A and B are shown apart, each in its own frame.
Chain A
Amino acid sequence: MMQNRRRLAACMGGVALAAFVSLAVGQGSTVDEIAKYRAALQDGNPAELWEARGEDLWKKPRGPKQVAFARCDLGLGAGVVKGAYARMPRYFADAGRVMDLEARLLYCMTTQQGISDADAHKNLFGNGSERKSDMEALVAYVTSESRGTKMDVSLDDPRVKEMYALGEKMFYFRGGPHDFACATCHGEDAKRIRLQDLPNLTSKEGAQKAYTTWPAYRVSQGELRTFQWRLYDCFRQQRFPELVYGSDASIALTTFLARNANGAAYDAPAIKR
């Protein structure tokens, strides 16, 4: 318990930057201060640096074929970025697969830009230091172009609808040595781990607040983290094996959460602890 004060300080920083501050009884004044601190940080979100670099990467010819993403169709037509993320995941006939943004970007890199699958999968997550990820920058740019757009993931296509149903099952799937499911931590209102508030992803409001604020610049990591990263790291803490980037399971769960956020204005890249 000697380290309590240090831990508390760290945790308070965490809460300060957390997306959802719905607070525990009896911590009112601390919460006010934290909210102020958080608001101050919102003024200067380093995510902008990722967005700018991503825009460059999007527009520049890339790969062995020297093709820019202008030929990449995110669902609204080749090269159209505005509002595209708020309508993903969706079914792509050319790939024959339901894809989220990140799987789609990998697809465009490998099929249009001539980048090998292995190279496209290199460096998906920046290391918090010198080694930055092009993927994280591209995602920052594309998502920023949906800021203010209402989430509108359609389940009209039966293949998307099935992914939604599978994603829902995944959300409640308990496994591993700790018996954890997503629902263990994200199934009730106003719960927290240590001092970190947890969104209830089974409620409309909770899913909307959470999904519309990813990707986010993670202050504790000094990197912009994408939704694929969010799921990957949740499963790590669930004591599951490693979620494969762009895998069907990752897209199914994303479909479930994105669809549940429908109707809310998309508002990311955000900033979080």
Chain B
Amino acid sequence: MRIRTLLILITVTAVAAGCASQSSDPQTSAKAAQMMKASFKERGQAKLDRLDQDETQRLCSLYAGNALPKDVATRIEAANLSSIKYPSDGKLVGDWKAGEKIAQEGRGKQFSDDPTGPVGANCYACHQLAPQEVSYGTIGPSLYLFGKTRGYTDETRKYAWGKVFNPEAYAACSNMPRFGHNGILTEAQIRDVVALLMDPASPVNH
């Protein structure tokens, strides 16, 4: 009953706000998920289990296009925050030059990609980073001067690591992939991407 009341409230809010909203109907969602299972086939490294949603994916799909209820957002962020693994040796910052290569690399995890690699983060697809790269996307915010603006502190380095590892911990239903949590990047790669953002010598900070 409480969930239903919540759904009605969300719908009313969304309609009042004039949002283009999908119907938050769990039954149709379940049917769509079932239909998808029958309509995709595994190919290369992309197996059918990629259609099995975890709780974060399920909730973010259900509320997509609508306002995300505060309590749901809090729940998603808490669950994802607890999943973040910091490096055992405590070293958060690697080589920014290697990080730049990872940020440029768009391959990885597609059924058309070699499963032995390379796997990149493709940061430039969505973000501005180093000003020398003018071919950048705008789905995410500009990260130019990331470290310089926020300060080269332990706190910011830790935040950068966590954000790359699992952005859902800080912004529920963010568009950004959970690079560490979902095993897209290795620990060493995350360290290098953090360096691209946080090394004072990185072109991102100049």
| Residues in A lying within 8 Å of B, measured CB to CB | 1, 4, 7-8, 11, 24, 165-166, 168-181, 183-185, 187-188, 190-196, 198, 202-203, 235-237, 239-244, 247-250, 252
Contact = CB atoms under 8 A, between A and B. Distances in A.
B177 A180 contact: yes
Contacts of A183: 64-65
Contact of A1 (B35, B48, B132): B132
B111 A236 contact: yes
B50 A176 contact: yes
21 contacts: A1-B133, A7-B135, A166-B28, A169-B32, A169-B33, A170-B35, A174-B60, A176-B109, A177-B50, A177-B183, A178-B177, A178-B182, A184-B139, A194-B124, A194-B135, A241-B46, A241-B50, A247-B38, A247-B39, A249-B35, A249-B40
B43 interface: yes
A247 B35 CA distance: 9
A31 to B, nearest CB: 14
B32 A252 contact: yes
B109 A239 contact: yes
A170 B40 contact: no
Most buried by A among B29, B126, B130, B175: B175
B134 interface: yes
Contacts of A191: 137-139
A171 B60 CA distance: 12
A80 B111 CA distance: 39
B177 A242 contact: no
Given A11-B135, A239-B110, A241-B47, A177 B184 contact: yes
B164 to A, nearest CB: 13
A194 B125 contact: yes
B177 A177 contact: yes
Contact of B134 (A8, A166, A180, A190): A8
A184 B175 CA distance: 6
Task: Determine chain A's interface SS by DSSP, over half rule.
Answer: mixed
Contacts of B112: 236
Nearest to B66: A172
Given A7-B135, A184-B139, A249-B39, A177 B182 contact: yes
A54 B126 CA distance: 39
Contacts of B31: 166, 169
B110 A169 contact: no
Contact of A173 (B36, B124, B134, B168): B36
Given A172-B22, A172-B64, A175-B50, A1 B39 contact: no
B13 interface: no
Contact of A242 (B43, B109, B132, B133): B43
- 10 closest residue pairs by CB, A with B: A249-B39, A247-B39, A169-B32, A172-B64, A178-B177, A242-B43, A241-B40, A176-B50, A241-B46, A174-B57
B157 interface: no
A247 B37 CA distance: 11
Interface in B7-24: 20, 22-23
Contacts of A11: 135
A43 B20 CA distance: 36
Given A175-B51, A180-B177, A248-B39, A192 B65 contact: no
A67 B46 CA distance: 39
A240 B115 CA distance: 14
A195 B137 CA distance: 6
A158 to B, nearest CB: 13
Interface string B177-194: 110001110000000000
Interface string B37-78: 011111100111011110011001100110000000000000
Nearest to A168: B22
A225 to B, nearest CB: 15
B100 interface: yes
A202 B14 CA distance: 14
Given A177-B50, A185-B139, A241 B41 contact: yes
B144 interface: no
B170 interface: no
B104 to A, nearest CB: 8
A249 B135 CA distance: 34
Contact of B20 (A181, A198, A202, A237): A202
Contacts of B50: 175-177, 239-241
